Amino acid sequence: MTKVQTVLDSSIVELLKGESIVSLITINSETKKPELSVVSWVLATDDGKQIKIAVGHKGSSINNIEADSFVTLGITGPESCYAVKGQASVSDIFSGTMKYRVITVDVEEVEDVMFYGGKLTALPKYEKTYDPQLAKKLDDEVYELLKK
C-alpha cells in the first residue's frame, strides 16, 4: 500500500520551482466528466502546502474550478509520478503582457502512483515554439506573480 502524505516533500517542492510539465485535472462544469489540461507555470510554496498555477484568464479550468473546487495534479518526477489532490481557488484577473489568473491548490493528499517496480530515470523536457524574447518576458512576469 502506498503511503499518502498531506504535504509535498522537499524534492517535489524543488522540482516545482522551475518550469515543470504538470497535468491539471478538473471536473468539467457542464459534462461533469474529468478534464485534463497541461500547465507549466507552476510554483510550490516552500512548506509544501500549496501549489500556484498561472493560466490564461479564459481557460476552461477556471470555470470548472469555480463550479467544483476539487482538483488532482499529476506530477512527473523526481524518480516517480505523483497524484496531488486538493481544493483549488481562482484569483481575480491580473493584467500584464497578457491576462492571467492564478489557481491556488491547497494540498490535501500526495500519493506516489508509479507502477510497482518502476522508477523514472529522466524528467520530461519541452521547448517553447514562440518568440524567445516574449517567452522570457512572460516567464519573468508570471513567476513574479506566483511568488506573491
Decide: helix, strand or coil at residue 38.
strand
User: Dihedrals φ, ψ of 44, to 5°?
Assistant: -90, 150
Decide: helix, strand or coil at residue 147.
helix
Cα dihedral 132, 101, 15, 79 sign: negative
Kindly list the domain boundaries of the chain, sorted by start residue.
Answer: 4-147
Q: Find out whether 101 and 62 touch, Cβ atoms under 8 Å.
A: yes
pTM of this structure: 0.92
Q: Find out whether 136 and 128 touch, Cβ atoms under 8 Å.
A: no
Task: Please state, for a pLDDT cut of 70, what percent of the chain lies above it.
Answer: 99
Domain 4-147 has CATH 1.10.1040.10: no
- Per-residue pLDDT tens for 67-120? 999 999 999 988 999 999 999 999 999 998 999 999 999 999 999 999 999 999
